[in-house]
Amino acid sequence: MTERSWHRVAGTDDLEVGGVMMAKAGDTLVAVVRTEDGVCALDNACPHLGGPLANGRIDDGKLVCPWHGRAFDLATGECEGFAESVQAYDAEIRDDGIYVASD
C-alpha cells in the first residue's frame, strides 16, 4: 500500500469561501474548492474532454466543468447521470494553510 502524503497547496487566505483554484499536490493537479464547511479537492481534468475543473463554478454542492457542464460531487467526485467520475482527495485547512493528501 502506498503511503499518503499531505501537501500544502495554498495559504489560508488564498482561497475564499465559494472559490475554486488549481493547485499541485505532489505530482497531481487538483481543483481545490472552499465551502462554508471547509475545503475539498478533485482531479482537475474533467474525464469527458479534459476540461479544467478549477475554471468551473460551484452549484448545489457540485463542481461544474466550464466546457460542457458536467457536475461532479464535491465529496465523492461522482458525476450524476454519467459513468465517468473524478478522484476526490482528502483536504483540510490547518493553521498555516490548505492541505491536500495524495499518494
pLDDT average, residue stretch 5-15: 96
Q: What is the pLDDT of residue 82?
A: 84
Q: What percent of the chain has pLDDT over 90?
A: 88
pTM of the model as a whole: 0.93
Task: Give CA separation, 97 vs 50, 76, 94, in Å.
Answer: 28, 23, 5
Residues in the chain: 103
Higher pLDDT, 91 or 82: 91
Reported CATH class of domain 5-102: mainly beta
Give the CA radius of gyration of the chain. Answer: 13
pLDDT at 1 over 60: no
For residue 66, CA distances in Å to 43, 55, 75 come to 14, 6, 19
The pLDDT value given to residue 3: 75
Domain boundaries defined on the chain: 5-102
Mean predicted confidence (pLDDT) in 75-99: 94
